[in-house]
Amino acid sequence: MIKEIFSFPNPVNENAARTVAFCVVVLAIAGFITNSIYILSFLLYGFIARVLTGPTLSPIGQFATRIIAPNLPKKNVAGPPKRFAQMIGLVCSSLTLYLFIVEQHLLSDAILSLLLLFASLEAFVGFCAGCFIFNKLMKIGLVPESICEQCQI
């Protein structure tokens, strides 16, 4: 039971991933507009939940996989690069919230802008920057062979 909860799907439905990215775009914009610690905290929680459990404990992940994605054509992509991309989002949202709390708003906004850019590329263009970086890391041998094997769909 616990192992099932703390797992990341492989393969991942590309349309669900793009829906999650769109929701991150909306939250990032809302964070800019409102300067709300609650929105930034929810953004961070979402990345923590998705890195640890895929969509299982993520409200946005549940929305994407249960409501939106079933109504769109299914396109499977490898899970490990998407999880890596979620980890990049986790780092960015963690730094954003921390810098916001310590009142380094310019730096907080800069990192939130980077997150907004990456999420926008995924949501609107279908380009996953984290997946691109992951693939480069695979090619130079920094990703273990066992993970590379999981990327074969």
Please report the pLDDT score of residue 150 as a whole number.
66
The whole-angstrom separation of Cα 117 and Cα 55 is: 22
Range of the domain at 60: 2-150
> What Rg value do the Cα atoms of the chain yield, rounded?
15
**Would the pTM count as exceeding 0.95?**
no
Please report the pLDDT score of residue 108 as a whole number.
98
Q: Tell whether omega for the bond before 11 is within 30 degrees of 0, i.e. cis.
A: yes
Q: How many domains does the chain have?
A: 1
Please report the pLDDT score of residue 145 as a whole number.
72
pLDDT < 50 stretches in the chain: none
Beta partners for residue 76, in sequence order: 13
The whole-angstrom separation of Cα 80 and Cα 7 is: 11
Please report the pLDDT score of residue 9 as a whole number.
83
Amino acid at 6: F
Structure confidence by residue, pLDDT tens digits, 60-99? 999 999 999 999 999 999 999 999 999 999 999 999 999 9
Please report the pLDDT score of residue 99 as a whole number.
98
Q: How far is CA 95 from the centre of its chain?
A: 15
Q: What is the DSSP string of 104-126?
A: -HHHHHHHHHHHHHHHHIIIII-
The whole-angstrom separation of Cα 83 and Cα 31 is: 23
93 contacts: CB under 8 Å, gap ≥ 6: 40, 43, 44, 46, 47, 115
**In this structure, how many other beta carbons lie within 10 angstroms of the beta carbon of residue 58?**
23
